Amino acid sequence: MSDQKILQLQSETGCDFDLAKLMLKFTGDDVEGAVKIISSVEKNIYVIRGKFIAQTNKIYGAFIFFYDVKNKSIEKVNAVIRDNDKSAIEFDFEKRWKEYQEDLLNYEKSRGINLNLQNNFYTGLINSKSVHFFERLSKNKEIDEQSLKNFLTEIIIGVVGDVNTAIKIKVNKTDAFEMNKGDKIPDDDKTGTSENKKTEKEKIELEKNQILTIKIELDISPVEGTPISELKPGQTIAVKITDDRAVASYINNLLSGTTSFDEYEPQIIYAELEDLVVTDGGIRVKVRFGPGIYGVAFYGENVKVRTAAKEEIDAPERAQKGNFFSKNFWIIGIILIAVVLVLLFLLIQTD
């Protein structure tokens, strides 16, 4: 695994050094496949951007920030606020949010801003009251933009001291990797030699972070299988990936050792059982395929599941080789028979 591939994956996805390294190890240095997996992560971060005018005090401003639903936190706040200068609101909402963010950052570098008002905006936005508000707001399937607009208007009025304030907002959704995509990679992360690099415990936690969940079926074996109620986390069980997404097809082919990526045919794959949870709808089975990649299935009865030795999941190279030989058993057999016949013919001719 080269540092160049790690940096390429970081640049294309926004993931950090450790996750890039884990993902490339999982995909066998396939950068394109790693990008495909990371790009499939759930979009659970709100991108909130806005522009406002304090009409009495002639104060103009624009901002962008992110609310992470999973971590319940406000991230990466950028704002420009100026007195008596409408250029501070001349940012195009029709642009993609990434371009809008870049425009704000470039403006802040090249033009003067009211630093005091900007700091007051940050303080007003990043506090426990705001976090509780966004936590309640994000519980709904669709965010209530009017409630959000009213809340932000209240914050801005407190900053500019002008009740005659108008605000316009736009909300999008993204994921943690896209949010960080394009950020400068610290020099210490490029080499992995930073004094503050993650501890082994933090790396394990990183690996457990859920990136992708795909649908699976258990390989039911009524005679030789283990009752699902007797399975324990850490056991290796046989499953099939039934998810119809392209990324699921990629993972199926990667783990099963399938050489043709044009057709998707679910194969038996051995994966580590992460947990079993009894719910109202039955037993929820969760397996782990790789760093942040999980499979989930529900079963309403005590079926028997095929299990395997843990070595089969810890050594995917051996499993893939075995898969190759099992698939080409007859071809290999015919070739060996042909070789034996040729040798016998040569021996007869020699005699």
| Residue 136 and residue 87 in one domain | yes
| Residue 31 and residue 60 in one domain | no
- Phi and psi angles of residue 81, each rounded to the nearest 5 degrees, phi first: -135, 130
* Separation between Cα atoms, residue 110 and residue 108, nearest integer Å: 6
* Separation between Cα atoms, residue 242 and residue 311, nearest integer Å: 24
- Give the relative orientation of helices 246-256 and 316-327 as an angle to the nearest 10 degrees: 90
Last residue within a domain, chosen from 153, 174, 195: 174
pLDDT in the model for residue 38: 86
| Residue 239 and residue 307 in one domain | yes
Of 100, 8, 15, 12, whose CA–CA distance to 63 is shortest? Answer: 100
* Separation between Cα atoms, residue 293 and residue 208, nearest integer Å: 9
- For residue 334, being part of any structural domain is answered with no
| Residue 7 and residue 36 in one domain | yes
* Separation between Cα atoms, residue 179 and residue 9, nearest integer Å: 15
- For residue 341, being part of any structural domain is answered with no
Asked if residue 299 lies in contact with residue 262, where contact means CB atoms within 8 angstroms, the answer is: no
Beta bridge partners of 217: 240
- For residue 320, being part of any structural domain is answered with no
What tokens does 326 get? 């099992």
* Separation between Cα atoms, residue 23 and residue 292, nearest integer Å: 9
- For residue 346, being part of any structural domain is answered with no
pLDDT in the model for residue 203: 46
| Residue 64 and residue 155 in one domain | yes
Beta bridge partners of 308: 236
SS (H, E, C) 288-327: EEECCEEEEEEECCCCEECEECCHHHHCHHHHHHHHHHHH
Asked if residue 108 lies in contact with residue 81, where contact means CB atoms within 8 angstroms, the answer is: no
| Residue 22 and residue 85 in one domain | no
- For residue 326, being part of any structural domain is answered with no
pLDDT in the model for residue 237: 92
Asked if residue 233 lies in contact with residue 49, where contact means CB atoms within 8 angstroms, the answer is: no
Could you count the other beta carbons within 10 Å of the beta carbon of residue 128?
Answer: 7
CATH number of the domain at 203, please. 1.10.8
Q: Between vectors from CA 157 to CA 95 and to CA 93, what angle results, nearest 5°? A: 5
| Residue 35 and residue 71 in one domain | no
Q: Which domain holds residue 185?
A: 3-42+179-208
pLDDT in the model for residue 198: 45
**Residue that is written with structure tokens 């039934």 in the block:** 242
- For residue 26, being part of any structural domain is answered with yes
| Residue 102 and residue 58 in one domain | yes
Number of domains in the chain: 3
| Residue 86 and residue 169 in one domain | yes
pLDDT in the model for residue 96: 92
| Residue 75 and residue 165 in one domain | yes
Q: Dump the DSSP string for 184-252.
A: PPPHHHHHT--TTPPPHHHHHHHHHS--EEEEEEE-B-TTTPEEGGG--TT-EEEEEE---SHHHHHHH
Asked if residue 225 lies in contact with residue 307, where contact means CB atoms within 8 angstroms, the answer is: yes
Asked if residue 108 lies in contact with residue 52, where contact means CB atoms within 8 angstroms, the answer is: no
What tokens does 319 get? 């499993």
Asked if residue 90 lies in contact with residue 103, where contact means CB atoms within 8 angstroms, the answer is: no
* Separation between Cα atoms, residue 85 and residue 29, nearest integer Å: 51
- For residue 321, being part of any structural domain is answered with no
Pairing of strands 293-299, 212-218: parallel
pLDDT in the model for residue 195: 42
pLDDT in the model for residue 141: 76
| Residue 183 and residue 37 in one domain | yes
- For residue 329, being part of any structural domain is answered with no
Distances (CA, A) of 178 to 31, 183, 332: 16, 10, 47
Mean pLDDT by 10 residues, the chain (351 residues): 85 84 90 89 90 95 92 89 94 93 91 85 88 88 89 94 95 85 54 46 52 89 88 92 88 79 73 86 86 88 81 47 52 77 72 56
Strand ranges across the sheet with 59-68: 73-83, 59-68, 45-54, 165-174
* Separation between Cα atoms, residue 88 and residue 86, nearest integer Å: 5
| Residue 114 and residue 143 in one domain | yes
